[in-house]
A and B are shown apart, each in its own frame.
Chain A
Amino acid sequence: MELAEQLAEKQRSISVAEFFEKNKHLLGFDSPTRGIITTVKEAVDNSLDACEEAEVLPDIYVGIKRTGKDIYRIIVEDNGPGIVPKQVPFVFGKLLYGSRFHQIKQSRGQQGIGISAAVLYAQLTTGVPAVVISRTGHNSKANRFELMIKTESNEPQVLKHEEIEWDRMHGTRVEIEFKSTLSAKKRLLDYLRYTAVVNPHARIKTDIDGEKYNFERASEETIVPPKAIAPHPHGIEFGTLKRMAEASHLKLKEFLIEGFSRVGSKSADEILGLANLNPERKASGLSSDNLKILLDAMQSVQIPPPPASQCLSPIGEEKIVQGIDKEFELDFVRSRTRKSQVFSGHPFIVEAAIGYGGKLDSEGQAQILRFANRVPLLYQQGACIITTAVSGVNWKAYNLSQQGVPTGPVLILVHVASTNVPFTSESKDAIAAIPEIEKEIVLVLQDLGRELKNYLSRRDKNKQQEERARAVCSILPDIASKVGEIVGKPAPDITPLEAQIMHKVVVKKKISGGKVEISVNNYTRNPAAMTIYNMSGDSASDATVKPDFVDRIGDEYNKLWKIEVEPECTWNTVYSGTSHGSVSVRGVDEKLLVVVDIT
Chain B
Amino acid sequence: MATLTWEQVTVATGHAEGAEEAVRQAYREAGLAEPERVLVLPSPLAGAVVAAWLTGGETVRAGLERAGLLRDGLGRGLGGLLTDGLGFDGLLTDGRRLGSLDPGRSVRDAVRTGPWERARAAAYARLGHAGWAQLWAETGGRLWPQAERLVSDLRRAIADRGAALDTALGTDTDLAAERFGESLRNVTLDAVLGQHDAPWLSAFDGLGGVDGLGGLKRVAERAGWWWPYERLAIITGRPIELHLDDLGRPHRADGPALSYADGFALHAWHGMPVPPEFGATMTVLTPERIRSEANTELRRAMLEHFGLDRYLAESGAQPVHSDETGVLWRIELPDDEPLAMVEVVNSTPEPDGTSRTYFLRVPPWVRRAREGVAWTFGLTEDDYRPQRET
A binds B: no
Residue numbers of B with Cβ under 8 A of A are: none
Chain A residues within 8 Å of B, Cβ to Cβ? none
